[in-house]
A and B are shown apart, each in its own frame.
Chain A
Amino acid sequence: MSEIVMEIQKLTKQYGRQKAIDDVTFSVKKGSIVGLIGPNGAGKTTIMKCLGGLVIPTSGSINIFGETGEKGLNHARKRMSFIIETPYIKGEMSARENLEKQRLQKGIPNKERVDEVLELVHLTDAGKKAAKKFSLGMRQRLGIANALLGKPELMVLDEPINGLDPEGIVEIRELLRRLNQEENVTIVISSHILSELSLLCSDYIFINHGQIKDLLTAERLMSESGEYYHIHTDNDEVAASILVKRFAMEKMVVLEDGSIRIYEGLERIREISKALYEGGVIPMELARNEVNLEDYYMRKVQLSDEEKADKESENTDSKKGQDKKAKVKKR
């Protein structure tokens, strides 16, 4: 069984009444690359900030390398590195000076390490140029160099490929993969570029509205997500209601353009097609596709949004009912 390097138990962070993360529980195995996936405001960065000690959790526990509590986690963080939101860069300093400052801060005695990481991220030629004059890609690479300086065993990276050109993205992907494979560095990474994550990650955590919606391995994603039918008709609204009423479809998503994706009952597609036709709906497109990470994510997020909307409307209805009762009582 693989060693667990990080374990989060029932982690909650509340700002006033708003829960940024709610009862989050997951663990990370040594040597894995875990992708944190979710829309903006889902709670990914808050989880990372809790790991980095920037945000003090309202409740729950964090265990990293078997260490817990403030002192223990500070000790564990010395074996980790982070890039959260913006990389660590002093604009008026050169790349080398930035790394030298970081080396002093981390207490790394080996001065040559600065040259090693500069070479690793191809910034040796940056010379005395101030970091504030760097392109976004160079800044991102310098941030990664900072993160690599202390030879971390666990890296937590929030959008590390943000703003990189395609070449830069491939470069960073290969670098992370190499670190993972050759030096067994465990990586927790979030990104909006899901196609990139799918090329890199061994595990995925889907998060929305501060809660974990799904946890799965790359293998399970492949086997579970499988295929779907993309249906586009001359009247998608009626088609959706037929699918729900006649086939009790639950694993179904209506996309923004009105077209429908069904993830269940694929073997009954003839029956479905016939039912649509009988219902006066003409299928314009009926295509069988394979689900990739992006599709899976869209399904998860959309389903969780719908669940939330349902819950909210239920709450509003019950509140209205209560108000009505209260008014009747008053009378």
Chain B
Amino acid sequence: MFNLMKSVRYSLVRSKVYIITLLSVIGMAFLLVHGNISDPADLKKITGEAYFSGFMGDMYIMSIIAMLILSSVICGADAGDKTLNYELMDGHSRNSIFVSRILCNLWWSGGMVTLLMCFPFVLFSCVNGVGKSAVLRDMVLRYVLSLFPTFRLIMFFGMLAIVLRGAARGGALSYACLMVTIILEVFLSFQELGDGINYLFGFQNGAFLFKYNNARSMVVEGEQMMVTDYSLYPNLVGMTCLVSLLLGALYLCISYIVFIRSDRD
């Protein structure tokens, strides 16, 4: 299994897809931040905390695109070019091939999301400071919680690529699903669905974790800063974990059944 993971890593780091995806999302993140400030001088005012509360939710949605591309490539490309066939013919069991793909998907897609989300935060914190109103424990909790919907989404994109046996096919369907859910989410937001809407879609759940309520500017100890209400409530934490793990496990099971049972022609 480790040989397979080494082999996947070898081809992934040599693939242009990884670099292009990473650079594109970094570019989009730059545009996002740049587009939200009227005066370039304000860039100096964006502390780590301000970035976290102001941009992290949007950044999460952007990194989903990167997650989608990578998951499709890791789980689907090797089916398209018969790499999986030759792994089987090399004497690797279907179980070890499946597990290696899932672990690689989690490591590389999850890794890229982490990199994309944490890098600007670290950068702004280093340049402009973390910010005085920041509660580190809260930020860590929000970030750790976001790993659950990330897991759910990675499993979903991976499942589509495995079932459709191709990176392009899997990626296209994943993108279509993502767009449909975004439209649905807009429509459903007008309905009285209560809390349920937050867990219905993985991207929405992830982005919601970075939402701060009632952001307002206040002067504390002679310094103007952004203050927000604490918005992580126990139900949100519990349901995020539960729904994400359940759906992630369901997608994993479907992928496994399809992968193990089908002939590879």
Contact = CB atoms under 8 A, between A and B. Distances in A.
Contacts of A91: 81
Max chain B CB contacts within 10 Å: which of A80, A82, A90? A90
Given A54-B85, A105-B90, A90 B3 contact: no
Contact of B265 (A55, A74, A102): A55
Contact of A90 (B11, B88, B89, B92): B11
Given A52-B88, A74-B91, A74-B92, A92 B14 contact: yes
B101 to A, nearest CB: 13
A104 B264 contact: no
B44 interface: no
B82 A86 contact: yes
A93 B81 contact: no
B223 interface: no
Contacts of A52: 85, 88-89
Interface string B1-13: 0011011001100
Contacts of A146: 86
B263 interface: yes
Nearest to B4: A105
Contacts of B15: 92
B24 interface: no
Nearest to A88: B86
A53 interface: yes
A171 interface: no
Contacts of A100: 10
- Interface size band for A: 35 or more
A70 B93 contact: yes
Interface string B221-252: 00000000000000000000000000000000
B185 interface: no
Contacts of B90: 77-78, 105-106, 150
B16 to A, nearest CB: 7
Contacts of B265: 49, 54-55
Interface in B48-92: 81-83, 85-92
A55 B203 CA distance: 37
Contact of A54 (B4, B11, B89, B93): B89
A113 B256 CA distance: 35
Interface string A58-94: 0000000000001100111110111011101111110
A59 to B, nearest CB: 15
A90 B81 contact: yes
A107 B100 CA distance: 14
Contacts of A227: none
Interface string B151-194: 00000000000000000000000000000000000000000000
A241 B33 CA distance: 89
A80 B4 CA distance: 17
19 contacts: A49-B264, A70-B93, A71-B93, A77-B89, A78-B90, A78-B91, A81-B89, A84-B85, A86-B82, A88-B82, A88-B85, A89-B81, A93-B11, A101-B7, A101-B11, A104-B7, A105-B87, A105-B90, A106-B90
Interface of B: 3-4, 6-7, 10-11, 14-16, 81-83, 85-93, 263-265
Interface of A: 49, 52-56, 70-71, 74-78, 80-82, 84-86, 88-93, 97, 100-102, 104-107, 146, 150
Q: Give 7 closest A-B pairs by Cβ, nearest first.
A: A77-B91, A78-B91, A105-B7, A52-B89, A107-B3, A82-B89, A88-B86
